């Protein structure tokens, strides 16, 4: 079955434009309840700090309660926290109201199963098939009830702290933490402070409209300036829903997800705790593959999207994977990308090794890689375009074995991503611009 609404990470789009309306959210909740909990059950609902989150929370609550499910309202909490609390609270499913790193005028809805994992493509298709039906309302005695969970943040904080050795703390570290005015604005600083670090918080004053606005993992410029300005040991940045991590070293150098994977894999190898291959994606830098290979560490590439990284980790028996964007999955600790848990492990590596973040990343040599996002009026059929395919083949032939080309349509927005990677920066830039222009002219 095809999927009209679900992309690579749930349903997402501009608020007020179908499908991101209150009416659709209510019908969606009803459809999900009929597919995943036809006999009733419990759903945990969390959100980030967008103004529209209140509206979607109310609509989803109404749809689930009317369908006979009890709703646990978690309030603003990171996406991985919702995955954890779905398991911890014995809920039948979890719901995240967030558009992740997108600006505030977008929002999204995604789901976790009772184990805290993403839904399969087949289940999402089954849910979409139910959307043609009207939302159901059971009789009064069979309605669900809604309850606010005031302890959600504290429960998630305690879980995050439990993932590092009890003998370790962060005393002596001066850390700038940028929470992107998003879901982690309370739990992030509180967790790091409780572990003994000196904290300089930025991006921790959400007003409903400033999420991801010039801050967070997508915009680390302010973090770089602050780290250098206050003489911090390290900076960490989350995205709006707290599942992406980007770091800044003591010199102001940005450390992305590929470099984080390298540091964690090498540290785990040294402590004999690395299991299976490291899993990246088609967009992972070739330098990561080569750096891990030099250490004798296996590396596999999945399709873009943390759900596909997770699938390949489970298939290969690996426990560590992620994307350059900062989605890092530590499968031995949690079921989804978790910026706070990943940051804690990175900070522990710094403490245990006595090395700075800049020192820990020195063995990673990045290949020049250019990514161009081409905005399109609608989704583009890349495979069906003869002009685009001819240009792609031509550029791949000219690049040969000296690099890679990845051309893909975003699963969450009308954007085509053009990535070219190779050993010559000028050539990579020229080829990426050439291919992007063909996409612009054709789309």
Q: Which residues are catalytic?
A: 100
Residue with tokens 């770091």: 247
Q: What are the beta bridge partners of residue 321?
A: 279, 329
* Structure tokens that stand for 8 in this block: 């690579």
CB neighbour class for 294 (10 Å; exposed up to 12, middle 13-18, buried from 19): exposed
Give the residue carrying structure tokens 């759900």: 307
């Amino acid at each position: 079955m095809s999927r009209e609404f679900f992309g690579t990470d749930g349903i997402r789009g501009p608020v007020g434009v179908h499908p991101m309306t209150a009416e659709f959210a209510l019908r969606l909740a009803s459809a999900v309840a009929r597919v995943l909990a036809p006999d009733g059950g419990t759903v945990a609902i969390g959100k980030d700090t967008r103004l529209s989150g209140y509206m979607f929370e109310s609509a989803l609550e109404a749809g689930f309660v009317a369908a006979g499910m009890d709703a646990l309202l978690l309030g603003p909490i990171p996406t991985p926290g919702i995955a954890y609390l779905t398991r911890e609270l014995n809920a039948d499913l979890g719901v995240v109201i967030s558009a992740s790193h997108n600006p505030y005028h977008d929002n999204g809805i995604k789901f976790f199963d009772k184990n805290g994992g993403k839904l399969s493509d087949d289940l999402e298709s089954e849910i979409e098939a139910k959307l043609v039906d009207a939302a159901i309302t059971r009789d009064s005695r069979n309605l669900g009830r809604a309850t606010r969970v005031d302890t959600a943040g504290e429960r998630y904080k305690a879980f995050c702290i439990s993932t590092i050795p009890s003998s370790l703390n962060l005393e002596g570290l001066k850390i700038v933490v940028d929470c992107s005015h998003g879901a982690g604005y309370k739990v992030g600083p509180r967790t790091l402070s409780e572990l003994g670090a000196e904290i300089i918080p930025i991006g921790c004053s959400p007003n409903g409209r400033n999420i991801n606005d010039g801050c967070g993992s997508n915009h680390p410029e302010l973090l770089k300036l602050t780290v250098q300005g206050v003489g911090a040991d390290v900076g960490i940045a989350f995205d709006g829903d707290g599942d992406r991590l980007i770091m800044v070293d003591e010199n102001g150098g940005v450390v992305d997800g590929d470099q984080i994977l390298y540091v964690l894999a090498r540290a785990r190898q040294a402590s004999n705790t690395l299991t299976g291959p490291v899993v990246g994606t088609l967009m992972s830098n070739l330098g990561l593959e080569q750096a891990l290979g030099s250490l004798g560490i296996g590396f596999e590439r999945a399709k873009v999207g943390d759900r596909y990284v997770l699938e390949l980790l489970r298939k290969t028996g690996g426990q560590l994977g992620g994307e350059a964007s900062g989605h890092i999955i530590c499968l031995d600790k949690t079921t989804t990308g978790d910026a706070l848990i990943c940051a804690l492990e990175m900070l522990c590596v710094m403490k245990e090794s006595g090395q700075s973040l800049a020192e820990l990343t020195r063995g990673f040599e990045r290949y020049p890689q250019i990514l161009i996002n081409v905005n399109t009026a609608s989704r583009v059929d890349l495979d069906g375009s003869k002009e685009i395919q001819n240009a792609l083949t031509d550029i791949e032939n000219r690049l040969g074995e000296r690099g890679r080309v990845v051309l893909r349509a975003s699963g969450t927005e009308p954007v085509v991503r053009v990535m070219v990677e190779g050993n010559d920066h000028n050539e990579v830039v020229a080829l990426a611009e050439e291919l992007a222009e063909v996409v612009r002219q054709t789309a």
